[in-house]
Amino acid sequence: MNKESYLNETPEEVGNSKKVTNLEMDPLIKEKMKKNLVYVSIFSIVMLFAGLTSAYIVSMGDSFWIKFPLPISFWISTAVIVLSSIFIQLGITFAKKNNQKLSKLFVVLTFVFGLLFVYFQYKGYGQLVDSGSHLRGDIMVVDGRYGSIGDDGRYYGYYEIKYNGKFLEIDGNDYLVDQKKLTSAQFSELKEFTKQFETIDNPKDLAVSNYGKSFLLYYKQQPVDLINGKLSLPDSSALKFIDLMRLRDLAINISAERGDFFMKGKIGKDFHVYFKGKELDYENRLWKYKGKILDDYLQTKPLESPDTSSSYLWIITFLHLVHIIFALLYMIRIVNSSLLGRFTSSDTLSLRLGAIFWHYLAILWLYLLLFLLFIH
C-alpha cells in the first residue's frame, strides 16, 4: 500500500486494515510466547543441574569418595532416549509433508521409547542397589562389623567365627580361611549358619542349631558356648540383648556379602575410594596411599563418612527422570493430537514445542552421563 492510497482511505478502512494485520500477527506472537515459556523452563532446569553438578565437585574435594562403574541399564537408556529424540524430529518432518501415517508412527514411537527410558532407569537403580549403592548409605560397615583385635592392636568389631577350627579373616569384602578366600560352597555354608541370627527380636525365642560342629562364635575374643539353648560366655553368663543385636547385624552383613564395605566386590577393581582426589589402597584393614599407612584420624574417618557420592548420583539421575516423566505426561496429549490427525503442514506448533523440550532432556541426559562417567 503506497502513501497516497493510505491517505485516501477513510478512518473506518484504516481501522479494518489494522485489525486484519493484528489478526495475522496473532499466531506468530502466540508461537513466540509459548516458545519463550519452554525456554524459561529449560533455563530453570539448566540452573538446577548446574548447581547440583557444581555441588558434586565441591563436595568431592575434601571427602572420602567412592567411584564405581555406572549400571549397564543406564547405557541402554541412553541409546533409547537418543532414538526417541530422532523419532520426534521425524514425526515433525512428516507432519510438515502432510504424511499423517508416518508422522503418527514416529510420534507414538517417541512416547514408547520414552517409557522404555523410564523402565531402563528403574532397572539401573536396581543394579545400583545390588552393587551396594544407596540413596542414603555409608562407605564402611560399622554395625555388625566382623573381627575383634587385629595384629596391629586396633579394635575392629565384636565377633569372630571359627570355621573347622580356624578363625575366619577379612580382606575388604572377602572372607578368608588360611589366607584363602572361601569357596562358593564354603561361603554358602557360612551364610546358612548365620542366617538363624538374622531375625533376633527376642532372645527368649532364639533357637540355635548346628552350633559347634563346623562353626563357633567368639565374642570379644572369648569363645561363646551353647548352654541350655542360650549363647553364653565362659563364665556361663548369657549374651545380653545388645550383644545379640550385634550378632544379628553381623549375620545380615554376611547374608548381603558385605565385609568392610557396603559396595559389593573388590576395592580397586569393582569400586575405588578417593580422598582429596587421590586413590587410596586398603590392605590388612588399613588405609594406605602409595604404600604409606595413613594416620589414625584418616583410618577412622571412613567409618564415620556417609557415601555422599552415591547420594549425589541418585539425586541427579532421579531428578532428571522426574522431568522425563512430566514430559511424557505432556507427550500423551501430543500422541492423542497426532492420532486424531491434528498435525498438518500448517499446524505443528504443539509438536515442535514438545520436541524442543524432549531434545533438551536428551541432551541433558548425555551431559549428566558424561559428567558422571568422567567425574564419578
How much is the pLDDT for 146?
A: 94
- Amino acid identity of residue 268, one-letter, is G
Please give the Cα distance from 280 to 64 (Å, whole number): 9
Same domain, 53 and 97: yes
pLDDT band at 152 (very low <50, low <70, confident <90, very high): low
Report yes or no on 356 lying in a domain.
Answer: yes
Contact predicate 68/127, CB 8 Å: no
Stretch 365-371: mean pLDDT:
96
Of 47, 40, 43, 1, nearest to 20 by C-alpha is 1
Could you tell me what percent of the chain has a pLDDT over 90? 69
Please give the Cα distance from 280 to 70 (Å, whole number): 20
Instruction: Show Cβ contacts of residue 356 under 8 Å, excluding neighbours closer than 6 positions.
Output: 35, 38, 42
Please give the Cα distance from 157 to 148 (Å, whole number): 5
Same domain, 39 and 89: yes
pLDDT 10s digits, 304-327: 899 999 999 999 999 999 999 999
pLDDT 10s digits, 194-227: 998 988 766 566 778 778 889 999 999 999 998 8
Of 264, 374, 367, nearest to 317 by C-alpha is 367
Report yes or no on 19 lying in a domain.
Answer: no
Q: 178 is written with which cell numbers?
A: 588360611
How much is the pLDDT for 204?
A: 61
pLDDT 10s digits, 87-98: 999 999 999 999
For residue 180, list its beta bridge partners.
177
The dihedral over CA atoms of 319, 324, 330, 331, expressed in degrees to the nearest 10, equals: 180
Provide the 8-state DSSP code for 227.
E
With a cut of 90, say whether residue 250 has pLDDT above it.
yes
Domain that holds residue 212: 159-260
Same domain, 344 and 247: no
pLDDT 10s digits, 220-243: 999 999 887 788 888 888 888 899
Q: Alpha carbon of 90 to those of 82, 105, 112, 159: distances in Å? A: 13, 9, 15, 63
- Amino acid identity of residue 72, one-letter, is I
Same domain, 126 and 203: no
> What CATH number corresponds to the domain at position 124?
1.20.120.80
Report yes or no on 148 lying in a domain.
Answer: no
